[in-house]
Amino acid sequence: MNNEISIRVRELTKVYRLYEDPKDRVKDALKIFKKTYFSEFYALKDISFTIFKGETIGIIGKNGSGKSTLLKILAGVLNPTSGYFEVNGKVAALLELGAGFNMEYTGLENIYLNGTLIGRTKIQTDEILADILEFADIGDFIHQPVKSYSSGMFARLAFAVAIHQSPDILIVDEALAVGDLRFQTKCYRKFEEMKKWGTTILFVGHDVSSIRRFCDRTLWIHNGQIIDFGDTGQITAKYMELMLSDESVNEKNVLDSKQKQSLTEELNESINKQPMISDLDKRTINRWGKHKGSIVDVTILNQSGEKVEILNYEEKYFISIIFDLNVEMHMEYLSIAVSIKNKVGMDIIVFTTYETNLEFYKNDSRAEVKFEFINYLTEGDYNLAVAVENRENVSPEYYDYIEGAYYFKCFSEKQLFGIIRPPMNNHLIYFEE
């Protein structure tokens, strides 16, 4: 681990004065009487920790535990009541929608405004403008006032601006929660790149699987105080034990038919606003290959042959991949592969025709492969990576590889744990005394 300190916090405390009546605030300011008109609320109390350069730190805790207050202090938005902290390096922070943006300006104007605020010249902003616009992917809305943006569009633009500041420290406070599945997957992939560059990342989130996937260590805050700070696996396990002991948390995963219908409509509305699946390049996170463009269409179908974006537990589905066979492809070693990934990019299930010895014989034509499977995935957001590959060698050579070819959700009528929950037989044996 790098021993260079990125963030050091010592006995940090933030106290707010709470007044029952607005008039009490005036009386307290004038100090007419020797009387206390307020009560004290400790948002943070004696917080101390050290973070080293290049670490990715998860910050967990229930709502109101002090997570956002801590990040705002580290970002320079709030001043502590007592204690001290030091931050070594340039900081980019996504704390809340609207922070650092002029709502009357267009998206483009706000990009230049943010560049000016961090000391970047117009020429320097011009050099990275195309990268920002490509990542934000909000089209012509970039020329509209940001006050007209949806929360998802705003998040995409804010994140794109922040990561292209080339920060030494990136602070993210649940800004990804408002994005669609494609945007979230894209952001997590960017986190991986920034980790390799040595960027220190502070990531607040309620998605424990994401915390476990990305974070080297985790800080658990409760009622303004540190409960624990250290190994991510151990701390998130303790945290989940506390959360699952709360009946209200258990109930949140149980969906009645009305709630499920509402979620279905919400997802369909979101998907309908996105580019059609046939235009793969507008939906993908990344695409490369010797014959890029060979994959024509990717969909998931139910047993009636209908395209679906919501998969029910223990039901049968088909992943359909339509592709063009090029005369330069080696039919003998050709394979079609698909990986089901969670939104942080982890491979959950991988299917390939290479393993089933499916033979291709007709080049220079269009074909379709369907992977039939029973859905044993637990609730969550998932996406597909799809490839046409050459398996002549141990390491596949990709003719066409698409990351983020299709996005879908999984639901279950009952609460399930883990990522995959296949059927399992149980056998009970009693031992004679």
pLDDT digits (tens, 9 = 90+) for 130-165: 989 988 888 889 999 988 888 778 888 888 888 888
What DSSP designation does 420 have? Answer: B
Give the pLDDT score at 207: 74
- The CA distance from 28 to 20, in Å, is 12
8 class by beta-carbon count within 10 Å (0-12 exposed, 13-18 middle, 19+ buried)? middle
265-411: CATH number: 2.70.50.60
The per-residue pLDDT for 194 is: 87
Instruction: Report how many helices (DSSP H) and strands (DSSP E) the chain contains, helices first.
Output: 10, 18
> How far, in Å, CA of 357 to CA of 398, rounded?
18
Angle at which helix 122-136 crosses helix 151-163, to 10 degrees, equals 130
Q: What is the pLDDT of residues 49-101, one digit of tens each?
A: 999 999 999 999 988 899 989 999 998 889 999 999 999 998 888 776 556 78
Residue 319: is it exposed, middle or buried by C-beta count within 10 angstroms (0-12/13-18/19+)? buried
Q: Which residues of the chain have pLDDT under 50?
A: 247-260, 263-264, 266-278
* pLDDT for residue 365: 87
User: In which order are the strands placed within the sheet that holds 5-19?
Assistant: 38-52, 5-19, 82-87
pLDDT of residue 135: 85
Give the DSSP H or E segment for 94.
Answer: strand 91-94
For domain 5-250, the CATH architecture is: 3-Layer(aba) Sandwich (3.40)
Q: What are the φ and ψ backbone dihedral angles of 392, each rounded to 5 degrees?
A: -65, -35
Q: What is the mean pLDDT of the chain?
A: 83
Distance separating alpha carbons of residues 5 and 169, to the nearest angstrom: 12
Identify the helix (H) or strand (E) that includes residue 352.
strand 347-352
Q: What is the pLDDT of residue 279?
A: 61
The length of the chain, given as a count of residues: 433
Q: So where are the chain's domains?
A: 5-250, 265-411
Query: pLDDT tens-digit profile of 189-213?
Result: 888 888 888 899 998 877 777 788 7
Phi and psi torsions of 63, nearest 5°: -60, 135
Task: Quote the pTM value.
Answer: 0.64
Q: What is the pLDDT of residue 348?
A: 92
Strands 217-222 and 200-204: unpaired
- For residue 82, the cross-strand partners are 13
Burial label for 138, CB within 10 Å (0-12, 13-18, 19+), is: buried
